[in-house]
Chain A
C-alpha cells in the first residue's frame, strides 16, 4: 500500500476507532443486521401475538431496513435500530389500542412494588415466581397488559434492552421508560398473584392458605 494510502487508513482508524471497513454495504447488512433476525422475529411476535402476522412484520422490517441501510450509523446498536423499524411498521399497519395515560413518577412506582411483595408474603406466595408452571400465566398476563406498559416490558424484560435503548426504540424519555416499566411490572405481578390465588397455589410453608382463607 502506498504510504499516503497507509497514512489515510491510519487517520481513519484513529478517527473512528476501528480499521477502515472494506466490506460492501450488503456485506455489512449481512454481518450486522441479519444476525438479529431471530430477535426481530421474536419481537414481532410479541407485538402481533400471531405468528403469521409476525412473519409478515419481520419480512417487512428487514426490507425497510435494507432500503434504509445507508441511514444506519455504524457503531450504534443495530438491534435497537431494527426494533425501532419493526415497531414503527407495526404501528402503521395495526389498529392500536387506546393508549392509557402514563404515570410519571418512577420512584413512587418502585415503592409500590413493596406493597405487592407484602401482599404476596401475607398469602404465602412469595416464592410464586420460582414455580416452573408460571410461565404460561406470565405470557398471558404480558399479552393482556395495556400496550403502553407491554411495549416497555417486552423490550426491557424479554429482550433485555437497556433503559436507554428502550427509550430510543419507543422515542420516549428515559424517565418515562422507568415509570412505565415499574408500573407495568407491578400490574403484571398483581395479575400473577391473582392467578396464583385463583389456582390455589400452595404457600412455601406447605399450607394452602388461599383455599383455607376462602373457606373461612
Chain B
C-alpha cells in the first residue's frame, strides 16, 4: 500500500482524530508516517497524547461500587426484575 504524503498543516488538522482512532486506516498510516519523521509535529503529538492520557487517568470511580449495585438491584426487583 502506498502511503499518502501529508504536510504539517494537514497533520495538525487531523491530530485529534488520529489520537482518537477516528481516521481511516490509510489516513492513519499517512499521519503516522509523517509524525515519525517530522521534528516540528512530533513534539505536539507527544504533548497532546500525554494530555489525553492524563485526562483519561483522572476519571473518578464510584467510591462504593458494591453499595450502588445492591441499591440498583433492589430497585429493579421491586419493579419486577427477575433474573
Binding site for B on A (CB under 8 A): 24, 26-27, 29-30, 34, 37-38, 41-42, 45-46, 51, 54-55, 58-59, 62-63, 66-67, 107, 110-111, 113-114, 117, 120-121, 126-127, 129-130, 134-136, 138-139, 142, 153, 156-158, 160, 162-163, 178, 181-182, 185, 188-189
Do A110 and B15 have beta carbons less than 8 Å apart?
yes
Distance between A104 CB and nearest chain B CB, rounded to angstroms: 15
The 8 lowest CB-CB distance pairs between A and B, nearest first, are A26-B83, A138-B58, A129-B50, A135-B58, A30-B83, A129-B54, A41-B62, A129-B51
Instruction: Please give the distance in Å from A143's CB to the nearest CB on chain B.
Output: 10
In the complex, B52 has a CB within 8 A of chain A = yes
In terms of DSSP, what is the predominant structure of the interface of chain A? helix
Interface residue B43 (Cβ < 8 Å from any Cβ of A) = yes
Complex partner residue of B50 from A24, A127, A181, CB under 8 angstroms: A127
| Contact partners of B12 in chain A: CB under 8 A | 110-111, 113-114
- Residues of chain A contacted by B39 (CB below 8 angstroms): none
Question: What residue in chain B is nearest A69 (Cβ atoms)?
Answer: B81
- Chain A: CB-nearest residue to B11: A110
Contacts of B59 in A (CB 8 A): 42, 158
CA distance A134 to B55 in the complex (A): 9
In the docked arrangement, what's the CA distance between A24 and B82, Å? 10
Tell whether A185 pairs with B71 under 8 Å between CB atoms, given A26-B82, A162-B22.
no
Contact A42 B58 (CB under 8 A): no
Q: Using A59-B68, A66-B76 as known contacts, list a sample of 17 further A-B pairs with CB atoms less than 8 Å apart, ordered by residue number in A.
A: A26-B82, A29-B81, A38-B62, A41-B62, A42-B59, A42-B60, A42-B62, A51-B62, A59-B75, A107-B13, A117-B43, A121-B47, A129-B47, A129-B54, A136-B58, A138-B55, A142-B55
Interface residues of B (CB under 8 A from A): 9, 12-17, 20-22, 43-44, 47-48, 50-63, 65, 68-69, 71-73, 75-76, 79, 81-83
CA distance A33 to B71 in the complex (A): 15
* CB-CB nearest in chain B for A143: B60
A167 to chain B, nearest CB (A): 12
The distance from the CB of A38 to the nearest CB of chain B, in whole angstroms, is 6
Q: Which residues of B contact A135 (CB under 8 A)?
A: 54, 57-58
- Whole-angstrom CA separation of A121 from B76 in the bound complex: 53
**Nearest-CB distance from B72 to chain A (Å)?**
5
Nearest A residue to B22 by beta-carbon distance? A163
| Cα of A56 to Cα of B76 in the assembled complex, Å | 13
Smallest Cβ distance from A27 to chain B, in angstroms?
5
Closest to B62 in A: A41
**What are 5 A-B pairs with beta-carbon distances under 8 A?**
A30-B81, A62-B76, A117-B48, A157-B55, A163-B22
